[in-house]
């Protein structure tokens, strides 16, 4: 089995990975609630934890809050499942700082988004990741999400970066289902390809992916884990049933600004005491609440 980056195995990150919400209490991070939520995920079969990504409201967390959430997650995980800490920024220096903290906190890898807003070229993106990996000896998963960052890392640039030992994979949120196969052909099967789009996970896995960093897993962790287990075991009958059952829930998680639907859904199952999100995001409308509630009933999570 091939090993890269500090001896981390590529297949360490596969199956159902959750893009964790960050619960709040009186406007601050609910540390106890968050750690309880993480423990529940481990017990439900989630394969890896991803704190302080976009779903964790990283854009509106202070640096101190961001770092604290990573520490809280690692503290609960205790090595039982991997932790991939969000560490991206459109400032290379800031991304280096957050990646360094992720390493110091004990995270197994960092999830680093392509630089948003300032629209770097392909060469600029290459240099961004190269500088991060030169500065910090921690495995890095590239997060390619053109819908939020505007820039789209090409397969060619990703193939260049894959030659750096610490660049171990990608969270692909392009929704381009030709991309994982093109990436696999260009880089090889060792490169860890994780979907960032719940609704297309079946096709993504068929095209060479190995897992999904999931929003839906926040509220259906066991079902999402079972979906990936069924794929691994080539139990396509079970896989198809779970795929179809989860689809309305995938849609509901993005019926309004994410992660408001996921936080409200977690609130319905008493896993998030306060479902509020920080401005400029807005809390779920009554219509959104009904959409989420209906999807939870459809999935068999609520009666």
Phi-psi region of 150 (alpha: psi -120 to 50; beta: other; left: phi over 0): left
Strand partners, 195: 172, 212
Contact 146, 130 (CB under 8 A): no
> What CA–CA distance (Å, rounded) separates 16 from 212?
6
> What CA–CA distance (Å, rounded) separates 82 from 91?
26
Q: Which residues contact 163 (CB under 8 A, 6 or more apart)?
A: none
Residue 171 is among the residues annotated as catalytic for this protein: yes
> What CA–CA distance (Å, rounded) separates 251 from 261?
10
Strand partners, 215: none
Contact 194, 210 (CB under 8 A): yes
* Given the residues 14, 171, 263, 289, the one annotated as active site: 171
Q: What's the token pair of residue 48?
A: 């890896």
Alpha-carbon distances, residue 209 vs 70, 143, 169, 195 (angstroms): 26, 14, 10, 7
* Given the residues 143, 263, 264, 289, the one annotated as active site: 143
Q: Which residues contact 64 (CB under 8 A, 6 or more apart)?
A: none
Q: What is the DSSP string of 21-75?
A: ---EETTEE-HHHHHHHHHHHHHHT--EEE-SSTTTTGGGS-HHHHHHHHHHHHH
Contact 129, 161 (CB under 8 A): yes
Q: Which residues contact 42 (CB under 8 A, 6 or more apart)?
A: 49, 76, 77, 80, 81
Residue 126 is among the residues annotated as catalytic for this protein: no
Residues with a known catalytic role: 143, 171
């Amino acid at each position: 089995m091939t090993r890269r980056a500090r001896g981390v195995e590529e297949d360490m990150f596969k199956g159902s990975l959750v893009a964790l919400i960050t619960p709040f209490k009186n406007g601050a991070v609910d540390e106890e609630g968050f750690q309880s939520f993480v423990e529940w995920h481990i017990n439900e079969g989630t394969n890896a934890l991803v704190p302080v990504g976009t779903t964790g409201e990283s854009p509106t967390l202070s640096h101190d809050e961001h770092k604290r959430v990573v520490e809280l997650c690692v503290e609960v995980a205790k090595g039982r499942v991997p932790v991939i800490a969000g560490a991206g920024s459109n400032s290379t220096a800031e991304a280096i700082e957050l990646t360094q903290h992720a390493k110091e906190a004990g995270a197994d890898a960092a999830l680093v988004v392509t630089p948003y807003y300032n629209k770097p070229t392909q060469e600029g993106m290459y240099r961004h990741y190269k500088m991060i990996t030169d500065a910090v000896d921690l495995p890095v998963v590239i997060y390619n999400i053109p819908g939020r960052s505007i820039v789209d890392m090409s397969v060619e640039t990703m193939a260049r970066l894959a030659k750096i030992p610490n660049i171990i994979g990608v969270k692909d949120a392009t929704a381009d289902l030709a991309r994982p196969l093109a990436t696999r052909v260009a880089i090889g099967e060792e490169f860890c390809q994780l979907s960032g789009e719940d609704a297309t996970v079946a096709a993504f896995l068929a095209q060479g992916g190995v897992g999904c960093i999931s929003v839906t897993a926040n509220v259906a962790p066991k079902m999402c884990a079972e979906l990936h287990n069924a794929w691994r075991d080539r139990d396509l009958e079970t896989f198809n049933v779970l795929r179809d059952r989860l689809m309305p829930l995938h849609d509901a998680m993005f019926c309004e600004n994410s992660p408001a639907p996921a936080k409200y859904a977690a609130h319905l199952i008493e896993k998030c005491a306060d479902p509020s999100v920080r401005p400029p995001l807005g809390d779920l409308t009554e219509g959104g609440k009904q959409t989420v509630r209906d999807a939870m009933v459809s999935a068999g999570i609520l009666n």
